[in-house]
Amino acid sequence: MIYAGIIGGAGYTAGELLRLLVFHPEVRIGFVHSESHAGAPVCEVHSGLVGDTDLRFCSDFDLRVIDVLFLCSGHGRSREFLQANEIPENLVVIDLAQDFRDESEGFVYGLPELQRERIRGAKRIANPGCFATAIQLALLPLAAAGRLAGSVAVTAVTGSTGAGVKPGPTTHFSWRSDNLSAYKVFTHQHLEEISRNLSALQGAPVLPAFVPVRGDFARGIFADASLKCALSEEEVLQLYEDYYRDAAFTHVIRRPVDLKQVVNTNKCILTAEVHDGRLAVFSVLDNLLKGASGQAVQNMNLAFGLAEDCGLRLKASAF
């Protein structure tokens, strides 16, 4: 049995992580830490867990009694936590913030479709960003085949949960409902990890022109990547099917994709179309699961030698 601890337990990613771990057949939760809710029942904050757990948030914790630690605090807090605490040598640390996505301090970048074998047995894993996951999965097969030459344009629409649990002007229901808006055009922080990994795989610089868009829904990412391409549509689809043949959660289909196929699952579903020498790749995933907590559990499974889909057999709410 794997004993897990969670730091920063009150946010959306921690709530989804708890939902998965409470029912994971190989995991017991040792503690859920929250500075703001210490002593309160977990289900008072994560109300979807009413009747599923009697855990309470704690202010104190002992890292020696757990096997895996999930860091779910805000960006920058993970590095502070590791500097302030003595980390047991055999403790697996999975960071859901962006602090170590550059693979500094011994962390492995945790995108299984890119480097599954490095994640197996790793002690420190940096979970990818949600946009970064959707966009890289849309482009990895092309980069691996050396087909990302030239400009790549990406537009991706995300749900409001991607902004985190703390309310703000652009997450208020009356503003977000029936509305769309672009933000951080060409400057989004996930571009750094996207460009680094695609460039390394391609063997040449790749910097997508990325436009993120706030959607008027709660969860999910719909990404569209387009570029010039000399391959036929059949050749592209075959390339993608071959690349993801052994992937546990990334699936290529030959029909349009939509968010309802993936919300509430750890799946990423892809499709592609070619028109007059231009390729469009469509990628959909749940930003809180494959884009965050589900992928963290997937990485934990790999690190501990479990089946990759253990505790992650989830069905989409398709209607």
Q: Which residues are catalytic?
A: 130
- The pair phi, psi for residue 253, each rounded to 5°, is -125, 165
Question: What whole-number distance in Å separates Cα of residue 126 and Cα of residue 203?
Answer: 23
How, if at all, do strands 181-182 and 250-252 pair? unpaired
| Closest C-alpha to 311, from 7, 29, 114, 38 | 29
For the purposes of burial, counting CB atoms within 10 Å of the CB of 149, is it exposed (0-12), middle (13-18) or buried (19 or more)? middle
Question: What whole-number distance in Å separates Cα of residue 286 and Cα of residue 261?
Answer: 9
Residues 11/17, Cβ–Cβ less than 8 Å:
no
Residues 153/226, Cβ–Cβ less than 8 Å:
yes
- The pair phi, psi for residue 241, each rounded to 5°, is -65, -40
Question: What whole-number distance in Å separates Cα of residue 232 and Cα of residue 212?
Answer: 28
